[in-house]
Structure 1
Amino acid sequence: MPPAPQYPSFAAVTMLVLGLLVMLARASQAMFEGEEGTASKSDEAASDGAASDEAVPDETDAGSDPRSAQSTQSAVPATGAARIEDHRDTGPTRAERRARDALGEEDADQNPWHDEERDADSPWGENESEVDARRARADFEFSTGALLTNVALSQGLFGVAILGAAWLADVPPVALGVEVGDPWSVGLPAVGLGIVVGVALYVANELSSVLLDATGVEYSEGLREALAPDTLRGWVVLLGVVLPVIAGFEELLFRAALVGAFAAGFGVSPWILALFSTVAFAIGHGAQGPGGVVVTGLLGFALAAAFVLSGSLLVVVVAHYLVNALEFVVHEGLGIEWA
């Protein structure tokens, strides 16, 4: 007779992992918001500098003094200049990116977002301290490879911790959505169903993002842009290693453990647990802004519903992977925007 599952012990480890994950997510969110706050301070300093220039009488002819022309422009372009340097950190909304592209097509000479690779010393209303601060931020910016490695290792270790806890607590695999011998759980039918669900959720995810963006709700894409590789090797690592690890771990935690195992071990309705896991899943993606939290919450509940209805962990892992992979390939690889 197999030993009785120790669900309380497994639940304790699961909640510990969830707490650590939320802490890391909050730290990432603070990092992104900190960069945005730094950019705002730079804008304020630039505006103060412009005001000081206007307050000091200029003894030279205004038409021949280049600083005079620069100070008249600094009130407007400084904001755009700050966004250029920090657009990967603060995460521009889709509307901002479309506005930038439209300005670039209509009048590149008057577009404050134009020429993103300009020299750091160009006259955009920045003083030397602002240029030095911007260079310092660039020096501390994580490389794409470091970000990918950090994500894969951290989530991979968390996943190992949950699997180890399930093994030590004798949690049966079926409680986690893995029923050996059932093709709709671990076979090709499960993979096919996951593909269908994943494509449908990707389309719904994109439509939700466009709708929120149209209503002015912030949806930051900075994290996805920061993780986007610049080389073919990087794309292979992202699509073949990092995204599968992310999908596998997050579905193991938010669907298999928080919904499947908790329902089996404590007799709680899986739909109530689906709501709980959805809230936790959304909070864990706070770095994407309010819009990202809403879209991710809807996606999380849809994945939880798919898990409850199918009873298969493989289905939701495949679906989750496809949503992430399609977003990267369509937006960052092909440069296609839905609107």
Structure 2
Amino acid sequence: MTDTGQQRMGWGYFLLQLITIGAVYFLCSIPAAVIWGYVDASGEAAISSTGAAASVASSMAGALLVAWLWLRRDGAVAEAWNLRRPEDGWARTLLAAVVATIAIIGWFTLGAMLVDAIGLAMPDVVEVLGWVTQSQFHFILWIVLVALFAAGLGEELIYRGFLMDRLNRLQGLAGKAWPIILIQGVLFGLPHAYQGLGGVIITGVVGIGLGWLRYNRKGNLWALVLAHMAVDVIMMSLSYADKLGFMPAT
């Protein structure tokens, strides 16, 4: 990922792109929330597991469409969403993905300990994992729509693809690797505020690591996509196995 010959862009144009993507992401979540929404026993609005998965997937699909339109307008699709065959081959790419997967899962454990030690709120994913483990059907639904599509593929295309490409074209940021990596990491962590401050910090660090990996992989996204997919599939699978009683008691 370099800035050689890239078209520069202003901050206003950049913010317009982010706002439109965010707006479409939000709007695309509404139909699923309406179709599968309900009022619970306490009178609060709620959404079913199916609706939550469909909402996440439809939101990401809308965001990806708008991001693609902006990239296409600027002639930057191929560079931002580099999913071509890796220059150094698939073996090295898979190795990088495996190492990244292990590092991320290890960081989740260490990060949770550090967050707890400094007295911050621990990441709260109880509700999400409750949806994931509701039934075999819902487990598969969440794996396909969320772990593989919305998170594994979608978030990498949006954050490490679209966002890093845009930041690398901004006046004052172009070609500055670490500021770009840090900014996209922060922006990646903020939407995870539903997990509490601890979740924002832990996820933000993951985003920084994945941002560095994109530079290390010369802009190719495959190692990042595969690692992200693997982490989410593993975490959801462990949670489902625990519900089924396959995990040893602690």
Normalising to structure 1: TM-score of the pair?
0.57
In the alignment, the residues of structure 2 paired with residue 286 and residue 22 of structure 1 have an alpha-carbon distance, to the nearest angstrom, of 16
> After superposition, where does 1:151-230 map in structure 2 within 5 Å?
151-171=56-76, 173-174=78-79, 176=80, 178=82, 180-184=84-88, 187=90, 189-219=92-122, 220-230=124-134
Find the counterpart in structure 2 of residue 279 from structure 1.
186
Structure 2: 5+ residue runs without aligned partners? 1-5, 28-38
How far 1:338 sits from its partner (Å)? 11
In the alignment, the residues of structure 2 paired with residue 291 and residue 324 of structure 1 have an alpha-carbon distance, to the nearest angstrom, of 18
Report sequence identity in percent: 17
Find the counterpart in structure 1 of residue 206 from structure 2.
299
Whichever of the two has the greater Rg, that structure is: 1
How far 1:312 sits from its partner (Å)? 1.8
Aligned CA RMSD, in angstroms, stands at 3.2
Question: Helix, strand or coil for the counterpart of 1:141?
Answer: strand
Q: Are 1:251 and 2:156 an aligned pair?
A: yes
Q: Are 1:331 and 2:239 an aligned pair?
A: yes
In the alignment of these two chains, the number of paired residues is 225
Structure 1: 5+ residue runs without aligned partners? 25-132
1:229/1:235 contact within 8 Å kept: yes
After superposition, give the CA deviation of every residue in 1:67-116 in whole Å (9 maximum; x if it has no partner). Answer: xxxxxxxxxxxxxxxxxxxxxxxxxxxxxxxxxxxxxxxxxxxxxxxxxx
Structure number with the higher helix fraction is 1
1:14/1:257 contact within 8 Å kept: no
Identify which range, 155-164 or 328-337, moves more after superposition: 328-337
Find the counterpart in structure 2 of residue 239 from structure 1.
143
Inter-CA distance 281–337: structure 2 relative to 1 (3 Å threshold)? farther
How far 1:309 sits from its partner (Å)? 1.5
In the alignment, the residues of structure 1 paired with residue 193 and residue 249 of structure 2 have an alpha-carbon distance, to the nearest angstrom, of 23
In the alignment, the residues of structure 2 paired with residue 191 and residue 303 of structure 1 have an alpha-carbon distance, to the nearest angstrom, of 15
> After superposition, where does 1:134-145 map in structure 2 within 5 Å?
135-137=41-43, 140-145=45-50
2:164/2:184 contact within 8 Å kept: yes
Question: Helix, strand or coil for the counterpart of 2:114?
Answer: helix
In the alignment, the residues of structure 1 paired with residue 76 and residue 192 of structure 2 have an alpha-carbon distance, to the nearest angstrom, of 28
